Amino acid sequence: MRAFVSFSPYANQRSDRNGAVSRRNLFLALLLILCAAIYSARGSAAKADPVRIVAFGDSLTAGLGLAPQDAFPSKLAGALRAKGFDVTVANAGVSGDTTSAALARLDWSVPPGTEAVILEFGANDAFRGVIPSIVNQNLDEIVRRLKARNIEVLLAGMYAPRNLGKDYYAAFDAVYPALAKKYGLLYVPFFLQDVAGVAGLNQPDGIHPTAAGVDVVVKTMLPSSEALIQRVRSRKAS
């Protein structure tokens, strides 16, 4: 009995075509795996890269009379982390600083890599009766230089003591909202809201908050600090 083998001239073509499809599918699968790995790595890197904030201010920021963990920058960082924000908040507060002193130390107090600044100055200027126009000039230059470095700014306002006279305190108080409007800054009208003048929330000098007073300051500053972080994130994403 003769063996009969059927032969089709298209068999090898089908085999080659199926092989090409398989190789193409394999390539696409590997490409998808690679893209997923890159995306995952970028996401992990972003999560591992906290928003770097500098609290730049005077003794109210430095935490005069308090333990380091009770100072405003430390307590604010804790409050933000408790709400799920990955941040660092450096304490660049120096007791006794005026806006002129702040301007002089700006470059080394706010190092490269800073993404946001909480700017808190003016109380010492007011106590010394510094002309409001000078306060405005100094703060304006600080903000201008920070914005030139693409650093987001949250401006903490200050009120002048009322015993300095209406002309003085009206001109002084007006510096902060005008500056915030000019540069489109996040702005809290009064850093010591609900703390100033409250005996139980201030140290014996009647000026610097206790640890409990700092908790109130953090509560005041927290919503705007969250908005500050969102501005940084939006800048990174764009």
Q: Can you tell me the distance from the alpha carbon of 32 to that of 39, in angstroms, rounded to the nearest whole number?
A: 10
Query: pLDDT at position 238, please?
Result: 82
Q: Can you tell me the distance from the alpha carbon of 75 to that of 33, in angstroms, rounded to the nearest whole number?
A: 42
Active site residue 58: no
Query: pLDDT at position 124, please?
Result: 98
Q: Is residue 179 part of a domain?
A: yes
Kindly give the confidence (pLDDT) of every residue in the chain, 238 residues in length, as a single tens digit, with 9 standing for 90 and above: 444 444 444 445 555 555 655 666 555 555 555 555 554 444 444 445 899 999 999 999 999 999 999 999 999 999 999 999 999 999 999 999 999 999 999 999 999 999 999 999 999 999 999 999 999 999 999 999 999 999 999 999 999 999 999 999 999 999 999 999 999 999 999 999 999 999 999 999 999 999 999 999 999 999 999 999 999 999 988 8
Name the burial class of residue 135, with classes exposed (0-12), middle (13-18) and buried (19+) by CB atoms within 10 angstroms of its CB. buried
Active site residue 107: no
Q: What's the number of domains the chain is made of? A: 2
Q: Which domain holds residue 60?
A: 50-237
Q: Can you tell me the distance from the alpha carbon of 131 to that of 160, in angstroms, rounded to the nearest whole number?
A: 11
Query: pLDDT at position 13, please?
Result: 53
Please state the separation of Cα 123 from the chain's center in Å: 23
Q: Is residue 3 part of a domain?
A: no
Q: List the catalytic residue out of 97, 173, 208, 225.
A: 208
Q: Is residue 1 part of a domain?
A: no
Query: pLDDT at position 30, please?
Result: 54
Assigned token pair, 38: 């890159």
Tell me how many helices (H) and strands (E) the chain has.
9, 5
* Calculated CA dihedral for residues 103, 129, 188, 183, nearest 10 degrees: -50
Indicate if 145 and 60 belong to the same structural domain. yes
| Contacts for 76 with CB less than 8 Å, ≥ 6 apart | 55, 89, 118, 218, 221, 222, 225
Indicate if 17 and 123 belong to the same structural domain. no
Q: Is residue 166 part of a domain?
A: yes
Q: With a threshold of 0.85, does the pTM exceed it?
A: no
Q: Is residue 4 part of a domain?
A: no
Active site residue 205: yes
Helix orientation angle between 72-82 and 211-237, rounded to the nearest 10 degrees: 60
Q: List the catalytic residue out of 59, 74, 109, 225.
A: 59
Q: List the catalytic residue out of 8, 167, 205, 238.
A: 205
Indicate if 13 and 124 belong to the same structural domain. no
Name the burial class of residue 106, with classes exposed (0-12), middle (13-18) and buried (19+) by CB atoms within 10 angstroms of its CB. middle
Query: pLDDT at position 49, please?
Result: 86
Report H helices in 83-174: 99-109, 123-127, 132-148, 166-173
Q: Is residue 18 part of a domain?
A: yes
Q: Is residue 123 part of a domain?
A: yes
Cβ(188)–Cβ(221) below 8 Å: yes
Query: pLDDT at position 22, please?
Result: 60
